[in-house]
Amino acid sequence: MMIEVNNVTKVYGNRKAVDNISFSVDSGEIVGFLGPNGAGKSSTMKMITGFMPPTSGTIKIAGYDIIEDSIKAKKHIGYLPEVPPLYLDMTVEAYLAFVCELKEVPNNKKKATVDKVIGEVGLADVRKRIIKNLSKGYKQRVGLAQAIVGDPDVLVLDEPTVGLDPKQIKEIRDIIKELGKKHTIILSTHILPEVSMICDRVIIINKGKIVAVDSTENLTDTIGKSKRYFLKVIGSVEKISTTLKGINGIKSFKSKADSKENCIDVDVETDVDHDLRKEIFFSFANQSLPIIEFRPVNYSLEEVFLQLTTDEEVNDNENADNIQKGA
């Protein structure tokens, strides 16, 4: 394991920010660390990097305790905080050479190291420019470059795309995916589609406790308060409505006309404990309503996140009588 977090708690005064959490990250994994504001996410990231100690519990990086073997553990970590630690009046290459000194890169390897990290994050065109004159996207790249100086096994990235425009987000995302081929990465972000595109696995924390650890695919497959299906049916909205109302276990449905295919698109939500696909199929067949498409619909990562981190159940189901007619 590259990262091992065991029974870690962090207390600030009377407030328990992180409450006895445990998880691990394997070598070569890219793991998303998610949580609402105040969930304990940033505190956990800071403890993993050794920026602050846990109140109790242990954290190991590449087998070294982050407190007891701090220097050895930190040699295996590259850290990009939410605000990159840049010296704005330095040029890109001068700043990265300075980072090489901080990380004790041998003198005979400094130039090669600077050239290497500049190439990996796409800074060749701006290497001689002063950092304060760069766009936010390029500044973020410089932050990533300093994190990978010394070729650490583990990269800890805190909100690596915050404040970037869509083009810059895609560029940083592509860089992170490429870095994931050689580094173990744990990253926090509020951009949930980004997690689905980058991460092998997701850890969700809420109120200081881990509430889910799984792949994004498994989370969206298995976590939900209902099952959902999409149907494309030839027939009238009224007949489809009457048929669905006669099936026990359907919680809600909505439909709209698809003028291109001259049929009706139907979204159906059913009780989570029952598979009603067969009953829906035969009920529609008995009413001479041909189904030309029938597939399950998974919850999005955003919906899973909200279910796991919201106290009250958000009732966004529509009553079965409220059927949208027309396109």
What is the DSSP code string of 202-271? EEEEETTEEEEEE-HHHHHHH--SEEEEEEEESS-HHHHHHHHHTSTTEEEEEEEEETTTTEEEEEEEEE
CA distance 191 to 77: 24
CA atoms within 13 A on the CB side of 70: 7
CA distance 280 to 278: 5
Structure tokens at 183: 């580094």
Report yes or no on whether pTM surpasses 0.85: no
Residues 163-185 have pLDDT tens digits of 888 888 888 899 999 999 999 99
Question: Do residues 221 and 298 touch, judged by C-beta distance below 8 A?
Answer: yes
pLDDT at 306 over 90: no
* 271 pLDDT tier (thresholds 50, 70, 90): confident
Mean pLDDT along residues 230-248: 95
pLDDT of residue 301: 87
Q: Where along the chain do its domains lie?
A: 3-220, 223-309
pLDDT of residue 224: 64
Q: Is 122 left (phi over 0), alpha (psi -120 to 50) or beta?
A: left
pLDDT at 225 over 80: no
Structure tokens at 108: 């005979």
* Of 68-82, 261-275, 307-321, the least confident: 307-321
CA distance 79 to 180: 14
Eight-state DSSP code of residue 85: -
pLDDT at 324 over 50: no
pLDDT at 190 over 70: yes
Domain 3-220 fold is: Rossmann fold (3.40.50)
Higher pLDDT, 323 or 149: 149
* Architecture of the domain defined by 223-309: 2-Layer Sandwich (3.30)
Residues 8-62 have pLDDT tens digits of 999 999 999 999 999 999 999 999 999 998 899 989 999 999 999 999 999 999 9
pLDDT at 322 over 70: no
Alpha helices by DSSP H, listed for the chain, are 41-48, 70-74, 92-102, 110-121, 136-148, 166-179, 192-198, 216-222, 237-245, 277-286, 301-309
* 325 pLDDT tier (thresholds 50, 70, 90): very low
pLDDT at 261 over 70: yes
